[in-house]
């Protein structure tokens, strides 16, 4: 039923996931990134914001107090602007630098290192009004809208509760000196922002969970898509079956011509069969002229019986020959003694002269 209706009933394959990643599709939450960036920046301001506040205080004092500016020509303005920008850069650069590193770190934490060159090309479909309306009124757009409204409500509630608990201090702010007002304003804004950031972090984690679930649902595949992928990666199943059939036929034909040349067939006893040939006049060592497992092993044994070739059961030797020796290759030194013993036995059965040592 799933196949007929096109339901996505199969989990995404590794190839499908790799394709999605190459297209820039990955589970990520902008809300989580924004919350972590906000909290990180606030923490930096708590521990490294003193230089910025000190610079702002000196700048304010120099402009509102001190010696009067008796001349304000172009050179004077350039010097003052240069000094101001240099001081501002020194005070704000560490904060901005940390914010950039934090933003990159949050991105890598969610999706890892991912380069998508085709995303740099202009996509004019993004400015199509019809496509925009479809995105806005889609299920995803509706969910994002509802979540955005809920997020605004949560931020407003957290800010209201935080300020309401300090309402008495807010009402008495008029009685404070200017430095005290500045410190109080800084404190209340910082701690309120931290509480909002923590609330946004919780919402961001929930949003990331939803984005991951939605991404997994988008990656799911129908039965037809799985078949198409297998066909593209491995070829048409019918063609593969036909190719295997042809390969088996060719193997059988090779066995029909090579097994009759063998002097002995070593078996395992039924799973493996290795045909060994040795001609002392032309060969330095016995060679494997045919080997096979399963159906091929049965074919080798049948050909051996038809051609009067002895079949010797030697399980460890058959396993070693099948694993370590390729077709038409000589027996390795470590197996030569065992094979030579079998060949000597076969020659005695046939009444032939036993070949000498190598």
Express each pLDDT in 23-56 by its tens digit.
Answer: 777 778 888 888 888 888 888 877 777 677 777 7
The dihedral region occupied by 25, where left means phi > 0, alpha psi between -120 and 50, and beta the remainder, is beta
From first CA to last CA, the distance across the chain in angstroms is 69
| Token pair belonging to 36 | 């972590």
Handedness of CA 131, 136, 142, 146 (dihedral sign): positive
Per-residue model confidence (pLDDT) at position 256: 83
Superfamily of domain 240-350: secretion proteins EscU (3.40.1690.10)
Task: For residue 78, give Cα distances in angstroms to 41, 65, 83, 93, 213.
Answer: 32, 20, 9, 21, 56
Q: Judge whether 318 and 267 are in contact, CB under 8 Å.
A: yes
- The pLDDT assigned to 261 comes to 87
> What pLDDT, on a 0 to 100 scale, did the predictor assign at position 249?
73
The answer to whether 262 and 277 are in contact (CB under 8 A) is yes
- The H or E element spanning position 79 is helix 74-111
DSSP 206-252: HHHHHHHHHHHHHH-B-HHHHHHHHHHHH--HHHHHHHHHHHHHHHH
Give the residue from 204, 180, 18, 48 showing the smallest Cα distance to 112: 18
Low-confidence ranges of the chain (pLDDT < 70): 1-6, 50, 64-72, 114-137, 139, 233-240, 247, 352-358
Instruction: Say what percent of the chain tops pLDDT 70.
Output: 82
Predicted pLDDT at 191: 87
- Segment 124-127 long-range contacts (CB within 8 Å, at least 24 positions apart): none
Chain centre distance of CA 186: 44
Q: Which of 19, 16, 40, 20 is nearest to 28 (CA)?
A: 20
Domain positions in the chain are 23-60+69-115+138-220, 240-350
- Nearest 5°: the CA angle 149, 111, 128 is 55
CB 290 within 8 A of CB 311: no
Query: If 0-12 CB within 10 Å is exposed, 13-18 middle and 19+ buried, where does residue 259 land?
Result: buried
Output the CA–CA distances (angstroms, integers) from residue 108 to 72, 113, 187, 232, in the order listed: 50, 6, 32, 32
* pLDDT per position as a tens digit, 100-135: 888 888 888 887 776 666 656 566 566 666 666 666
What pLDDT does residue 70 have?
Answer: 59
- From 331, 351, 350, select the one nearest 340 (Cα to Cα): 331
Contacts of 337 (CB under 8 A, 6+ apart): none
What's the pLDDT at 230?
A: 75
Give the model's pLDDT for residue 219: 85
3-state secondary structure of 122: coil
């Amino acid at each position: 039923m799933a196949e007929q209706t096109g339901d996505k009933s199969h989990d995404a394959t590794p190839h499908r996931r790799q394709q999605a990643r190459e297209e820039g599709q990955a589970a990520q939450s902008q809300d989580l990134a924004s919350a972590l960036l906000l909290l990180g920046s606030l923490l930096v301001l708590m521990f490294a914001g003193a230089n910025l506040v000190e610079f702002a205080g000196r700048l304010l004092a120099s402009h509102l107090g001190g010696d009067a500016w008796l001349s304000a020509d172009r050179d004077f303005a350039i010097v003052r602007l240069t000094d101001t920008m240099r001081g501002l850069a020194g005070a704000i650069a560490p904060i901005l630098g940390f914010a950039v590193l934090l933003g990159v770190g949050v991105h890598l934490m969610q999706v890892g290192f991912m380069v998508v060159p085709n995303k740099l090309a202009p996509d004019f479909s993004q400015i199509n009004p019809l496509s925009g309306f479809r995105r806005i009124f889609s299920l995803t757009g509706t969910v994002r809208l509802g979540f955005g409204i809920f997020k605004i409500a949560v931020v407003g509630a957290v800010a209201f509760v935080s300020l309401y608990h300090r309402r008495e201090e807010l009402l008495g702010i008029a009685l404070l000196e200017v430095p005290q007002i500045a410190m109080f304003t800084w404190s209340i804004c910082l701690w309120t922002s931290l509480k909002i950031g923590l609330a946004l972090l919780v919402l961001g984690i929930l949003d990331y969970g939803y984005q991951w679930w939605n991404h997994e649902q988008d990656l799911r595949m129908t039965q037809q898509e799985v078949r198409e992928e297998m066909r593209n990666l491995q070829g048409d199943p019918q063609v593969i079956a036909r190719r295997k059939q042809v390969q088996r036929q060719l193997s059988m034909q090779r066995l029909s011509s090579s097994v009759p040349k063998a002097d002995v067939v070593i078996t395992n006893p039924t799973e493996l069969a290795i045909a060994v040939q040795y001609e002392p006049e032309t060969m330095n060592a016995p060679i494997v002229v045919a080997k096979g497992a399963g159906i091929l092993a049965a074919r080798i044994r049948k050909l051996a019986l038809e051609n009067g070739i002895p079949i010797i059961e030697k399980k460890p030797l058959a396993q070693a020959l099948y694993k370590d020796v390729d077709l038409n290759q000589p027996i390795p030194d470590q197996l030569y003694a065992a094979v030579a013993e079998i060949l000597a036995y076969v020659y005695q059965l046939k009444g032939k002269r036993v070949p000498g040592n190598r």
